[in-house]
Amino acid sequence: MFEYFFGIIGLAVLGIVLNAIKILREYERGVVFQLGRFWKVKGPGLIIVIPVIQQMERVDLRVIVMDVPKQDVISRDNVSVNVNAVVYFRVIDPEKSIIQVEKYYDAISQLAQTTLRSVLGQHELDEMLSERDTLNRDIQSILDRQTDAWGIKVSNVEIKHVDLDESMIRAIAKQAEAERQRRAKVIHAVGERQAAKELVAAAKTLSIEPQAIQLRYLQTLTEIATDNSSTIVFPLDLVEKIRKTIN
């Protein structure tokens, strides 16, 4: 009978000892509370936690990648889009991450969603599509400031997708086509203006140098001679000038 009793006692003591031994990996820390009060942060390696008197919360110090679900955002120019992002953060103060906030992962997720809607809502659609790096930095800065009290460091934020409905995609395509046509017309107008300037300069040169107009006549006649036309018209003044030159 006594052997059975001592056997039970021995198993209980062994269970308590095994339960008191904790092994923390290199990237883990243990926040230890003693009689409900914060005591210290332990780890990594082998640590002893006194049962009943002490309790321990494990904290992972590795970078955590959190996917922010799609958010309905109305831009400053009243365009409705669906935007999702990814947030990279890590715990730098295990004590604060346990004491200052309950379930820091959920808290950062909710904060990231509201911040994403708030920041993007202050910008137009074109800025969302073309200035993602600036928007990423703005969101990261806001999240980092607000999570600092929780012992969390937000290292990076990346906007993954900005999804538009079909009608908006067609409208953007029409706008891009109109912009291309506008640029083509502007380039054509600039070319016409430059050509007009060159023609004015050429006309002034021809008016000053009579021989130049004669050479131009001859060049024109050479170009006409290469055509299949059977009739060539010579200006009378040119014929007269050539005759005088020959004489």
Examine the domain organization and report whether 105 and 141 are in the same domain: yes
Q: 30 forms bridges with which residues in the sheet?
A: 42, 58
- Please indicate, yes or no, whether residues 79 and 107 belong to a single structural domain of this protein: yes
Do residues 106 and 44 both lie within one domain?
A: no
Instruction: Return the pLDDT at 241.
Output: 58
The number of folded domains in the chain is 3
Q: Give the model confidence (pLDDT) of 16-57 as tens digits.
A: 667 788 889 999 999 999 998 999 999 898 988 988 899 999
Residues 68 and 157 in one domain: yes
Closest CA to 117 of 67, 165, 147, 72: 72
Report if residue 28 sits inside a domain.
yes
Residue 195: per-residue pLDDT: 79
Tell me the pLDDT band of 190, cut-offs 50, 70 and 90: confident
The answer on 87 and 50 residing in a single domain is no
Lowest mean pLDDT among 74-88, 111-125, 201-215: 201-215
In a domain, 112, yes or no: yes
Give Cα separations from 238 to 207, 216, 235, 245, 247 (angstroms). 15, 11, 5, 10, 14
Of 130, 68, 72, the residue nearest 105 (C-alpha): 68
What domain range includes position 239? 211-247
Q: Is position 135 within any domain?
A: yes
Residue 191 lies in a domain: no
Confidence of residue 135 (pLDDT cuts 50, 70, 90): very high
Its pTM stands at 0.67
Domain edge (last residue) among 43, 59, 75: 59
How confident is residue 168, by pLDDT bands cut at 50, 70 and 90? low
Q: What is the CATH number of the domain that holds 95?
A: 3.30.479.30
Question: What pLDDT, in 10s, does the model give residues 211-243?
Answer: 666 666 666 666 666 666 556 665 656 556 555
Within this chain, do residues 55 and 106 fall inside the same structural domain, yes or no?
no
* Whether 84 and 12 share a structural domain: no
Evaluate if residue 155 carries a pLDDT over 80: yes
Residues 52 and 69 in one domain: no
Whether residue 60 is predicted with pLDDT greater than 60 in this model: the reply is yes
Q: What is the residue-averaged pLDDT of the chain? A: 82
Query: Could you report the per-residue pLDDT of 80-106, keeping only the tens digit for each?
Result: 889 999 999 999 999 999 999 999 999
Residue 157 near residue 111, CB atoms below 8 Å: no
The answer to whether position 93 is within a domain reads yes
Residues 68 and 53 in one domain: no
Q: What whole-number percentage of the chain has pLDDT above 70? A: 70
Of 23, 42, 59, the last residue of a domain is 59
Model confidence band, residue 173 (pLDDT cutoffs 50, 70, 90)? low
Q: Is 181 domain-assigned? A: no
Residues 6+ apart with CB under 8 A from 149: 96, 100
106/151 same-domain check: yes
Same domain, 54 and 69: no
Q: Residue 88: inside a domain, yes or no?
A: yes
With respect to residue 204, please indicate whether it lies within any of the assigned structural domains: no
CB 82 within 8 A of CB 71: yes
Q: Are residues 54 and 74 in the same domain?
A: no
Cβ atoms within 10 A of the Cβ of 50, count? 11
